[in-house]
Amino acid sequence: MLSNFMLNSNSELLGLVKKKGIEKYYGPGDVIISKGDIKYQTAFILEGLVKITLGKENNSLLLYHLNAENNSIISFMNIYNNTPIQIAVTTIKQSRLLWVSNTDVLNMALLYPDLKKMIVDSYYYNHEQLVLITKNIISKSLDNRIFDYLMTKSSLYNSQKITISRLEMASDLHVSKEAISRSLKKLETQGKIKRSKNLIHLTQF
């Protein structure tokens, strides 16, 4: 499956979109969108990595990631209405986003088929990710879900070694810290990971 919505790779189009938008910088851990926000804009990730979560106080389950290299459009499909956003978007790495009003995005999408394709692709990508996580939740054991999670983080950071706190993992997976500890021990016994302090080393990359 070819995901091709990299605005960065189409410099002419990027130039046109930049003219209509405002660039903003974010540090790691910045909350870009909170659940319940109303936003009439679309963001293009020019640099960096963000995570999409359920964003509730008692449930901040990790849904998926968006980054500049692959799936770089943060859109809320609210071009025709003003419903509050049901997810939260938080940066993981330092990021640079280009914000464009939905009206401008819609007009440009009508003029430039490549942009239209990128936006539609991003709708499907978002939905597909939700289906994947639903399947994971219903069919996988917690151990396997955690392993998948570590593999995802590993490929996003491009590293076999990941530093991640038990607290963050518990929040992302919506389980208790104890359950995380138990599962990590199990994965270590199975030889899939090696642990030291907050560092997790994936033995199979």
Partner 1 sequence: MHTSISPLLEKYSFPKELLTLIESYGSIIYRKSNEQFFYDVNTYENTLFVIKGSFNLYLQNEEKKVLLYQLFSDQMCIANHVNLFNNYIIDFYSIALEDSILLSVPSNKMMEWSSQFKELRHLIITSHQHHYNAMLGVIQSFTEESLENRLHSYLKLKSVQKKANELAMPHQEIASDLNCSREAVTRSLKKLEVKGYIERKTRSVVLTPIIEQAS
140 part of the interface to partner 1, by CB under 8 A: no
Give me 110's structure tokens: 């009508």
Candidates 11, 12, 80, 197; binder of partner 1 (CB under 8 A) is 80
CB of 44 to partner 1, least distance (A): 18
The enclosing H or E element of 125 equals: helix 113-139
- Half-sphere exposure of 202 toward its Cβ, with a 13 Å CA cutoff? 20
What's the per-residue H, E or C state across 67-93? ECCCCCEECCCCCCCCCCCCCEEEECC
13 part of the interface to partner 1, by CB under 8 A: no
170 part of the interface to partner 1, by CB under 8 A: no
| Exposed / middle / buried, residue 10 (Cβ in 10 Å: 0-12, 13-18, 19+) | middle
131 part of the interface to partner 1, by CB under 8 A: yes
120 part of the interface to partner 1, by CB under 8 A: yes
Give me 161's structure tokens: 């070694």
In the three-class reduction of DSSP (H, G, I as helix; E, B as strand; rest coil), residue 150 is classed as helix
Candidates 9, 28, 107, 128; binder of partner 1 (CB under 8 A) is 128
CB of 23 to partner 1, least distance (A): 26
Candidates 130, 151, 156, 164; binder of partner 1 (CB under 8 A) is 130
62-67 and 73-74 as β-strands: parallel, antiparallel, unpaired?
A: unpaired
**Piece in contact with partner 1 (CB under 8 A), picked from 19-27, 76-84, 92-100, 153-161:** 76-84
Count of positions on this chain that bind partner 1 (CB under 8 A): 36
23 part of the interface to partner 1, by CB under 8 A: no
